[in-house]
Amino acid sequence: MAAATAERTRADAQGWRTIYDEPDAVRSRFITVDGYRTHYRETGDPGAPPLVLVHGANFQVGLGSERWFPTLVPLGERFHVFAVDELGGGDTDPPRDLADLGHVRVRAEHVLAFIEALGVGPVHLLGQSQGAWIAAYVALRRPDLLRELILVDSASLALPAGGIGSSAVGARYVEAFVPGTMVRSTLETSREGMRKWVSNMMFDASILPDAFLDRCVALGTKWMPVWEEPWKAFFADGGTRNAEQYLVDGVHIGEVVSTLRQQPLVIWGNNSVKGVDNGLALYKRIPGAQFHVFDRANHYLWMDQWRDFNSLVRWYLER
């Protein structure tokens, strides 16, 4: 049964529309934000409603907006889409203080400034994992910049310290890191090494196109040496700084999501290593929110269920 399901998933992926299949549909742009040379990918008609995509953590590889490869072109048919490379990833600068590399609140302030710099607001805002934490942070700090809000599979919002030490987070995810950290225990800059890295976050990583894996290899080669020492040091205090990065005005952001002006769509994977019950708990904290769960979908559910994910996002933002 599992083999048959995986085969269906692979067959379905043959029809996806990616940034590698339709490169002319995507523009590579740079903008200066708070002194940082910031890269982003742009698709769609400038007259369409603006939609900003905020990716999750880089985990040393530096994977930025490339992760939206099956999403940018389809969503660009209905929206003016901006997918930002956060600080320390893709083709964006690292933070000036490398001790802040990976710090979610530092990245959130950069994303907030990026949205302001675009000058196209208010925008629809979609964030995944730590990117959902960032999206919620922006919504709480500057609700005037937002239209609708979509939060995707985010232990960072649902659990203190991003879920480190939580029994609700899948063992295969936890075991990929040095205990008590988000430092990868092994990382190999090859196609199969990158596929193995992503496989912890996908239902079936065999569907990934070689072009995406090659980009992961290039980014890993570029960013892993930059991240190595600062990222280890980030967790050298036993996790205090890691827990602190998720706080807003001294409390975990999950305790204040009930005050969001938006009534967001919360999306989760039924097979997520972050635990679908965590998504349900998050949804219940937000008055007026909607909750959707995709089956045969892990943490990177927009890759696992790309067609239905894109359709759901379009429906929610146009309803």
pLDDT attached to residue 1: 47
Q: How far apart are CA 21 and CA 38, in angstroms?
A: 24
pLDDT at 7: 47
Q: How far apart are CA 170 and CA 157, in angstroms?
A: 16
Collapsing DSSP states into helix, strand and coil, what is residue 32? Answer: strand
The number of residues making up the chain comes to 319
Whole-angstrom Cα distance, residue 87 to residue 35?
A: 12
Residue 128 CA to residue 190 CA, distance in Å, equals: 25
Centre a 10 Å sphere on the Cβ of residue 233 and count the other Cβ atoms it contains. 13
pLDDT in tens, the chain (319 residues): 455 454 445 545 668 999 999 999 999 999 999 999 999 999 999 999 999 999 999 889 999 999 999 999 999 999 999 999 999 999 999 999 999 999 999 999 999 999 999 999 899 999 999 999 999 999 999 999 999 999 999 999 999 888 888 888 998 898 889 999 999 988 999 999 999 999 999 999 999 999 999 999 999 999 999 999 999 999 999 999 999 999 999 999 999 999 999 999 999 999 999 999 999 999 999 999 999 999 999 999 999 999 999 999 999 999 9
Cβ atoms within 10 Å, residue 58: 24
Q: Write down the pLDDT at residue 183.
A: 93
**Amino acid (1-letter code) at residue 138:** V
For residues 106 and 100, give the distance between their C-alpha atoms in angstroms, rounded to a whole number. 7
Two structure tokens written together for 87: 């600080």
- Other CB atoms within a 10 A radius of the CB of residue 125 amount to 29
The structure's pTM equals: 0.95
Residue ranges per domain, the chain?
A: 2-318
- Which strands form 265-269's sheet, in the order they lie side by side? 27-33, 36-43, 80-84, 50-54, 123-128, 146-152, 265-269, 290-294
Query: Of 1.10.1050.10, 3.30.450.20, 3.40.50.360, 3.40.50.1820, which CATH number belongs to 2-318?
Result: 3.40.50.1820
Task: Give the closest residue to 185 by CA, choosing from 150, 231, 149, 152.
Answer: 231
CB 53 within 8 A of CB 71: yes
CA distance 92 to 82: 14
Q: What gap in Å lies between CA 41 and CA 63, rounded to an integer? A: 13
Identity (one letter) of the amino acid at 18?
Answer: T
Residue-wise over 198-222: b if at least 16 C-beta within 10 A, else e?
Answer: bbbbbbbbebbeeebbebbbebbee
Do the beta carbons of residue 227 and residue 204 sit within 8 Å?
Answer: no
